[in-house]
């Protein structure tokens, strides 16, 4: 959607042109409408939202950010509030209520039918970022002893109330998960065959208490449409569907990007988030980093006498700490991403350090040639040699630091993304100066 059409809806709302708003809504798809509503305040967004028909109202609502959903709910009254929540998928509703203020959460639960309230309460019983919060309990469950013909009858009878029927869980007595079967396999199989002869017993499954991100990554790696979720005794609880898995991955990647840039994650839409909220999200990390940066100042003070003897050394300090910081940041970013997608594990730490050390060494050799030429032209061969050797050592050290810190963070239970590029760069700055002045003392005999 282009900017002109987007501005058109805002203008229609500001002018209270109800007829124009209805026409605009009729011309756009739910996700396009939601994309424009998140750019408005809650008071503005409620106007076009209330003009949607019931079916599209729910579709648009489920496309909104949680903060905007809460703003919409606050603008609804009576049965409109209750009907909207009643029609939501249980997993979407549970996440909304879980993130909502107590006032909205209490009102939402009180207005649900007993059946929907039980399902929602059950999902809310799982940890916030666990698979249990994201799975859908509305599925078609098939017993392993059913014939294909009977199973298809069950799918036809119950499929309309299920969120998905493409992957069908097959259970034994007591709802213990045996495996899964796809709808396509059912359709092409003989009606007299039994499911126990067709079920995929090796189909991946995951505990409801496992992190949702791990489940989503598993689905991505195994190319799954749905992932069965079980309890500690192997009983089937629900399915994690691919659309929810995509949301989990998007949310996790957004959080990792924020942390790697040295900021706290913000769940709200950037257009509507306030300036003070952005300042708060970024200032904490910057305050920590500026305190950490005092290490660099302390190192400069320790080697003040060395700088007084060879003032030319000071010329290359910015270049060296900048180069080291960049190499460390590259290494950290690569490893954080590799950890996130499951390519690297904590037990791979020795091999990761060995590989990154060699990468850093070769990068240092490559860059040292440039440093040697530039240094020779500016300050002479002796200082240029110090700079060149320091570049090699700093690049190697920075690659080791940048690659090891995310894995060490994971080992102690901290999100590897917290070991952000600015943090690695700050640490490499201080230690890089120690390397630089140590090399200078050895080469120049200071």
Residue 85 CA to residue 62 CA, distance in Å, equals 10
Residue 229 CA to residue 132 CA, distance in Å, equals 8
Whether the pTM exceeds 0.85: the reply is no
Residue 324 CA to residue 318 CA, distance in Å, equals 10
Identify any residues that bridge with 182 across adjacent strands, giving them in sequence order.
Answer: 167
CATH 1.10.357.20 domain range(s) in the chain? 293-444
> What is the tens place of the pLDDT at every residue in 147-161?
999 999 999 999 988
Within its chain, how far is the Cα of 326 from the centroid?
A: 24
* Residue 19 to residues 2, 37, 76, 178, Cα–Cα distance (Å): 21, 17, 21, 55
CATH 1.25.60.10 domain range(s) in the chain? 3-129
* Residue 56 to residues 32, 87, 96, Cα–Cα distance (Å): 12, 12, 19
- Decide: 213 and 116 in contact? Cβ < 8 Å: no
**Could you tell me which residues come within 8 angstroms of residue 42 by beta carbon, excluding any fewer than 6 positions away?**
68, 71, 72, 74, 75
Residue 303 CA to residue 433 CA, distance in Å, equals 9
Orientation angle between helical segments 90-99 and 114-124, nearest 10 degrees? 60
- Decide: 65 and 267 in contact? Cβ < 8 Å: yes
Identify any residues that bridge with 180 across adjacent strands, giving them in sequence order.
Answer: 169, 200
HSE (CB half, 13 Å, CA atoms) of 153?
Answer: 8
257: left (phi over 0), alpha (psi -120 to 50) or beta: alpha
* Residue 147 to residues 46, 173, 192, 193, 194, Cα–Cα distance (Å): 50, 16, 6, 5, 4
Dihedrals phi, psi of 171, to nearest 5 degrees: -125, 165
> What is the tens place of the pLDDT at every residue in 72-119?
887 777 777 888 888 888 888 888 888 887 877 888 888 788 888 888
Q: How high is the mean pLDDT of the chain? A: 84
CATH topology of domain 142-250: CBS-domain (3.10.580)
Q: What share of the chain is helix, strand, coil (3-state, %, to 5)?
A: 70, 10, 20
CATH 3.10.580.10 domain range(s) in the chain? 142-250
Q: Give the class (CATH, top level) of 3-129.
A: mainly alpha
CATH topology of domain 293-444: Tetracycline Repressor; domain 2 (1.10.357)
pLDDT score recorded for residue 360:
93
* Residue 238 to residues 14, 118, 155, 234, 398, Cα–Cα distance (Å): 44, 14, 16, 12, 46
pLDDT tens by residue, the chain, 446 residues: 444 455 588 888 888 888 888 889 888 898 888 888 888 877 788 888 888 887 788 888 888 877 788 888 877 777 778 888 888 888 888 888 888 878 778 888 887 888 888 888 889 889 988 999 999 998 999 999 999 999 999 999 999 888 889 999 999 999 999 999 999 999 999 999 999 999 999 999 999 999 998 899 899 888 899 999 999 999 999 999 998 898 888 887 777 777 666 666 666 666 667 677 767 766 766 676 667 667 666 666 666 666 666 777 888 888 888 888 889 888 888 888 888 777 888 889 999 999 999 999 999 999 999 889 988 888 888 888 989 999 999 999 999 998 998 888 888 877 777 666 677 877 888 888 888 888 888 888 76
- Decide: 328 and 428 in contact? Cβ < 8 Å: yes
**Could you tell me which residues come within 8 angstroms of residue 185 by beta carbon, excluding any fewer than 6 positions away?**
198
∠ CA(304), CA(306), CA(309), 5° rounding? 110
Dihedrals phi, psi of 440, to nearest 5 degrees: -60, -45
- Decide: 344 and 338 in contact? Cβ < 8 Å: yes
> What is the tens place of the pLDDT at every residue in 40-78?
877 788 888 888 887 788 888 888 877 788 888 877 777
pLDDT score recorded for residue 1:
45
């Amino acid at each position: 959607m282009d900017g002109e059409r987007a501005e058109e809806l805002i203008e229609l709302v500001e002018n209270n042109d109800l007829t124009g708003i209805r026409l605009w809504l009729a011309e756009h798809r739910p996700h396009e409408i939601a994309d424009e509503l998140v750019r408005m305040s809650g008071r503005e967004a409620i106007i076009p939202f209330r003009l949607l028909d019931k079916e599209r109202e729910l579709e648009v609502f489920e496309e909104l950010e949680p903060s905007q959903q809460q703003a919409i709910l606050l603008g609804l009254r009576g049965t409109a509030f209750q009907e909207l929540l009643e029609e939501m998928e249980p997993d979407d509703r549970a996440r909304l209520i879980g993130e909502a203020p107590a006032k909205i959460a209490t009102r939402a639960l009180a207005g649900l039918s007993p059946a929907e309230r039980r399902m929602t309460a059950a999902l809310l019983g799982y940890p916030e970022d666990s698979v249990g919060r994201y799975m859908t309990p509305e599925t078609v469950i098939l017993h392993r002893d059913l014939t294909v013909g009977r199973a298809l009858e069950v799918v036809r009878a119950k499929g309309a109330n299920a969120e998905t029927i493409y992957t069908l869980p097959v259970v034994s007595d007591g709802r213990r998960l045996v495996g899964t079967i796809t709808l396509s396999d059912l359709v092409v199989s003989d009606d007299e065959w039994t499911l126990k002869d067709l079920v995929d017993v090796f189909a991946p499954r995951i505990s409801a208490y496992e992190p949702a991100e791990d489940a989503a990554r598993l689905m991505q790696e195994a190319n799954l449409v749905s992932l069965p979720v079980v309890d500690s005794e192997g009983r089937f609880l629900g399915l994690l569907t691919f659309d929810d898995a995509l949301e989990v991955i998007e949310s996790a990647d957004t959080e990792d990007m924020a942390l790697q840039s040295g900021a706290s994650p913000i769940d709200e839409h950037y257009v509507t988030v306030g300036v003070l909220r952005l300042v708060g999200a970024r200032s904490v990390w910057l305050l920590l980093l500026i305190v950490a940066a005092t290490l660099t100042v302390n190192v400069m003070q320790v080697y003040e006498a060395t700088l007084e003897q060879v003032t030319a050394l000071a010329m290359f300090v910015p270049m060296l700490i900048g180069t080291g910081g960049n190499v460390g940041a590259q290494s950290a970013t690569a490893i954080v991403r590799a950890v996130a997608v499951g390519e690297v594990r904590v037990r791979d730490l020795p091999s990761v350090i060995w590989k990154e050390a060699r990468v850093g060494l070769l990068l240092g050799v490559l860059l040292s040639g440039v440093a040697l030429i530039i240094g020779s032209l500016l300050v002479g061969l002796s200082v240029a040699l110090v700079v060149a050797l320091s570049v090699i050592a700093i690049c190697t050290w920075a690659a080791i630091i940048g690659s090891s810190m995310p894995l060490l963070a994971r080992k102690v239970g901290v999100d590897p993304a917290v070991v952000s590029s600015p943090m690695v760069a700050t640490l490499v700055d201080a230690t890089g100066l120690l390397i630089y002045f140590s090399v200078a003392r050895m080469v120049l005999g200071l």
